[in-house]
Amino acid sequence: MKNNNQNYDSFEAAFEELKQIVQNLEDIDDVSIDEMLKSYEMGMSAYSFCMEKLEDTQKKIKIIDSNFE
């Protein structure tokens, strides 16, 4: 799933936003369905960015490892 609606400077920035979204959703008792949907969409965007960065990093590590075998 690639949804780059948000531009993040780094994995850490996207991950922090994702953590904040989850915390906000857990802490809010009275939230509209539209707000929940918007938060979910933002969270999925941050999640997708993080997963892409992790997959890219894993590929780079495999390339580096293969050079030392």
Q: How far apart are the first and last CA of the chain?
A: 33
Distance separating alpha carbons of residues 2 and 13, to the nearest angstrom? 18
pLDDT tens digits, residue range 15-68? Answer: 999 999 999 888 877 788 899 899 999 999 999 999 999 999 999 999 999 998
Give the pLDDT confidence score for residue 51 in this predicted structure.
Answer: 97
Distance separating alpha carbons of residues 34 and 40, to the nearest angstrom? 10
Distance separating alpha carbons of residues 20 and 53, to the nearest angstrom? 19
**Among 55, 47, 53, 54, CA closest to 5:** 47
Distance separating alpha carbons of residues 47 and 68, to the nearest angstrom? 32
pLDDT tens digits, residue range 3-29? Answer: 445 689 999 999 999 999 999 888 877
